Amino acid sequence: MNDILDHRLRHSWTPEAGAGAHLPPKALRWLTARIGSLGEQAPISPDSAVVVPDSRLGEPARAALEAVVGADEVLTGRGDRLGRSGGLSYLDLLRHRHHGELDVPDAVVLPADPEQVRQVLDVCVTHDVGVVPFGGGTSVVGGVNALRGGKSSVIALDLARLDRLVSVDPVSRLAVLQAGVRGPEAERLLAEHGLTLGHVPQSFERATIGGYAATRSAGQASSGYGRFDDMVAGVRLATPAGEWTLGVAPASAAGPDLRQLVLGSEGALGVITEVTLRVRPVPEAERFEGFVLDGWERGAAAMRALAQAGDLADVTRLSDVDESEVSLSLNAGWKTAALRRYLTVRGIAEPCLLVLGWHGSSERRISARRKETVRILGEHGAIAVKPLGETWRKGRFHGPRQRDALLDLGVCVETLETAAHWSGVHRLRDAVRTALTGALTAGGHEPVIMCHISHAYETGASLYFTVLAAREDGDPAGQWQRAKSAACAAISGAGTGHGPLGTISHHHAVGVDHADYLAEEIGELGVGVLAAAKQAVDPAGILNPGKLIRTARP
Ligand SMILES: Cc1cc2nc3c(=O)[nH]c(=O)nc-3n(C[C@H](O)[C@H](O)[C@H](O)COP(=O)(O)OP(=O)(O)OC[C@H]3O[C@@H](n4cnc5c(N)ncnc54)[C@H](O)[C@@H]3O)c2cc1C
């Protein structure tokens, strides 16, 4: 299991990840031209060079945990604890390269089933031990950082052994999966019943069912299958106050929907042990196509028209000019000059790439859906460049694999995401770009800021930014923290005098990184409601200290 939890992504994001980690020479030339000379090369430090403090788990607590899960499932070795020290944000990756302090758990505990999870929580209450639920460890907001919150010690509660498909109800099209099942395994288990979840975030290869639910994840095919929270019909949650099971019918007027309190609770209100999910038949046919629109505004208008007409493809993803430039020149493998000439002849001055992907029970059904979508796109001047869709599909998991290579080259590389109603989408994008550019421009070079919409709704859309800048070697963590703070202030309105322009997170969650901005979005009253809920289920405050709701001492 350790190899998959290793944070050196290039070799271990998945066993197949090596191929996708490669950065072609033309990519490096392009990067250097855009962001200037890169920082000092900082190869990944060997594990042995990272300082790992001794475990502070007391002997009585350890013995009690072993009595619940077995001695082999309470791990206090250096490598095991290091492998669950934080998630996969840029700051986490820097910490593994000696920039900043790693929060290392005192032990890793691996329960076998929901009952053991509940008993582990009892032990932790008794012995004043903090608990960080750990799924795939792909959090990019500090969600799995092992903060103590004033507790004597803290464990990573690794849910990897909760790896079963519990039941399938084909009549209702529901399946119950345990929390530790990873994306590919969930699809494999469901495919045996002819079913699919259709949830494919970019972290699909590592992230888990419990993690998706705890963060309100959104996958690449969210336009067709919905966000993960749309798929959840029920949850089973272990809390220090007892077990909580929610979801008995497809809809209910029995008071507020408390499943929504669990979705996005980030391990602060309980440990999700099982999730009942809406599933669909495995599609018989799939088709990906590319289109190019002239400029961001026209592209976004086309996407809005599709969303409001109910004609989004299952995957619908619009890249802005900068992101399209990268896709067209670096990844597509096309003769760029020829493609550009073609687009110019067709009247496209500022290419914005739109990828559409359809799933369906037959090619005929896909063609029927596609027809109306293409008609609407035609009204917005879209030009079909069909193969670009398939090229995107093939490379869609390469990004995570290339991050270590970029870090080795001295690149500050990170993403952030938000969402707004359509009427505010452009203002939000401009504000985030201005904030990031201001914070990251150095030596006459501006950062590369790419943006895409990959989750669209009738009323609005998410904006996903990828940032590349030359790393400031004196203080690489501070460089990104300043940029991220500026972007968060712009989004949330904190300290700016204007209200929120968008949400502080569309699908990455709050974690540590966004906790300071939550009140701007949900109000102090909202934070109070969350704190009251926490008090009800976790009065001793053992669950995921410092995440979602700020506790006194991190
Ligand atoms: C390269 C990369 C690409 C990504 N792409 C996407 C994307 O396309 N879409 C998207 O939505 N996200 C994406 N993410 C973010 C991340 O993958 C999601 O937040 C994901 O849902 C986390 O799942 P996980 O199993 O890894 O959870 P973890 O990282 O282990 O945990 C995340 C949070 O949930 C809590 N948690 C985990 N399991 C449980 C449980 N069983 N019960 C209670 N709390 C729990 C943790 O304590 C933590 O607060 C990406 C991350 C990376 C590194």
Least confident of 102-116, 232-246, 273-287, 436-450: 436-450
Task: Let me know whether 335 and 244 are in one domain.
Answer: no
Identify whether the C-beta of residue 302 lies closer than 8 Å to the C-beta of residue 456: no
Residue 433 above 50 pLDDT?
yes
- The pick from 4, 117, 132, 139 for probing ligand 1's pocket by mutation, whose C-beta has the most ligand atoms within 8 angstroms, reads 139
Please, what is the average pLDDT of the chain? 91
The answer as to whether 350 is a domain residue is: yes
DSSP states along 301-360: HHHHHHHHHT---SEEEEE-HHHHHHIIIIIS-S-HHHHHHHHHHTT-SSEEEEEEEEEE
Residue predicted with more confidence, 193 or 23: 193
- Ligand 1 centroid, distance to 135 Cα (angstroms): 7
The answer as to whether 210 is a domain residue is: yes
- Ligand 1 centroid, distance to 90 Cα (angstroms): 15
Task: Let me know whether 294 and 273 are in one domain.
Answer: no
The answer as to whether 504 is a domain residue is: no
Whether the full predicted model's pTM is greater than 0.80, yes or no, is yes
pLDDT tier at 23, thresholds 50, 70, 90? confident
Residue 334 above 80 pLDDT?
no
The answer as to whether 187 is a domain residue is: yes
Least confident of 27-41, 103-117, 225-239, 483-497: 27-41
Q: Which atom of ligand 1 is nearest to the CA of 180?
A: 41
The answer as to whether 150 is a domain residue is: no
Task: Let me know whether 339 and 275 are in one domain.
Answer: no
Task: State the virtual CA torsion across 468, 472, 475, 479 in degrees, nearest 10.
Answer: -40
* pLDDT digits 0-9 by tens, 468-503: 999 998 899 999 999 999 999 999 998 877 889 999
Q: Which atom of ligand 1 is nearest to the CA of 270?
A: 43
The DSSP symbol for 54 reads P
* pLDDT digits 0-9 by tens, 508-533: 999 999 999 999 999 999 999 999 99
Predicted local distance difference test score (pLDDT) of residue 48 = 65
Predicted local distance difference test score (pLDDT) of residue 428 = 97
Q: What percent of the chain is predicted at pLDDT more than 70?
A: 92
CA atoms within 13 A on the CB side of 367: 3
Residue 390, marked binder: no
Phi, psi of 436 (to 5 degrees): -70, -40
The residues, any chain, with a CB within 8 Å of residue 542's CB and separated by 6 or more, are 121, 124, 125, 128, 129, 130, 131, 151, 240
Task: Let me know whether 213 and 271 are in one domain.
Answer: yes
Predicted local distance difference test score (pLDDT) of residue 395 = 82
Q: Which residues surround ligand 1 with Cβ inside 6 Å?
A: 87-88, 132-140, 143-144, 159, 179, 201-203, 207-208, 210-212, 214-215, 217-218, 266-267, 271-272, 400, 507-509, 544, 547
Query: Which residue's alpha carbon is at the smallest distance from atom 28 of ligand 1?
Result: 137
* pLDDT digits 0-9 by tens, 350-402: 999 999 999 999 999 999 999 999 999 999 999 999 988 998 898 888 777 78
Residue 148, marked binder: no
CA atoms within 13 A on the CB side of 374: 16
* pLDDT digits 0-9 by tens, 177-195: 999 999 999 999 999 999 9
User: What's the domain count of the chain?
Assistant: 2
Q: Provide the CATH number for the domain around residue 321.
A: 3.30.70.3450
First to last CA, the chain: 29
Predicted local distance difference test score (pLDDT) of residue 324 = 93
Residue 425 above 70 pLDDT?
yes
The answer as to whether 535 is a domain residue is: no
Predicted local distance difference test score (pLDDT) of residue 8 = 47
* pLDDT digits 0-9 by tens, 84-126: 999 999 999 898 888 888 999 999 999 999 999 999 999 999 9
425-440 vs 296-309: helix crossing angle, rounded to 10? 140
Q: Provide the CATH number for the domain around residue 241.
A: 3.30.465.10
* Reported ipTM: 0.99
Residue 267, marked binder: yes
Predicted local distance difference test score (pLDDT) of residue 130 = 98
Task: Let me know whether 214 and 302 are in one domain.
Answer: no
The answer as to whether 308 is a domain residue is: yes
Q: Measure Cα distances from 350 to 148, 152, 320 in Å.
A: 50, 57, 9
Show the domain range for 226.
Answer: 165-248+255-281
Predicted local distance difference test score (pLDDT) of residue 17 = 54
Predicted local distance difference test score (pLDDT) of residue 403 = 83
Q: Which of 396, 421, 442 is the last residue of a domain?
A: 396
Residue 198 above 90 pLDDT?
yes
**Which is the catalytic residue, given 90, 212, 464, 517?**
464
Residue 7 above 70 pLDDT?
no
- Ligand 1 centroid, distance to 30 Cα (angstroms): 32
Task: Let me know whether 169 and 276 are in one domain.
Answer: yes
Residue keyed to tokens 């079913």? 195
Task: Let me know whether 308 and 267 are in one domain.
Answer: no
Task: Let me know whether 275 and 352 are in one domain.
Answer: no
Q: Measure Cα distances from 326 to 294, 320, 382, 432, 517 in Å.
A: 16, 10, 19, 20, 32
Task: Let me know whether 290 and 273 are in one domain.
Answer: no
Task: Let me know whether 295 and 265 are in one domain.
Answer: no
Residue 10 above 60 pLDDT?
no
Task: Let me know whether 269 and 345 are in one domain.
Answer: no
Residue 491, marked binder: no
Query: Which residue's alpha carbon is at the smallest distance from atom 45 of ligand 1?
Result: 267
The answer as to whether 188 is a domain residue is: yes
Q: Which atom of ligand 1 is nearest to the CA of 544?
A: 47
Task: Let me know whether 195 and 269 are in one domain.
Answer: yes
Q: Which of 346, 368, 396 is the last residue of a domain?
A: 396
Predicted local distance difference test score (pLDDT) of residue 258 = 97
Residue 464 known to be catalytic: yes
Least confident of 78-92, 159-173, 207-221, 419-433: 78-92
- Ligand 1 centroid, distance to 255 Cα (angstroms): 29
* pLDDT digits 0-9 by tens, 255-312: 999 999 999 999 999 999 999 999 999 999 999 999 999 999 999 999 999 999 999 9
Identify whether the C-beta of residue 248 lies closer than 8 Å to the C-beta of residue 234: yes
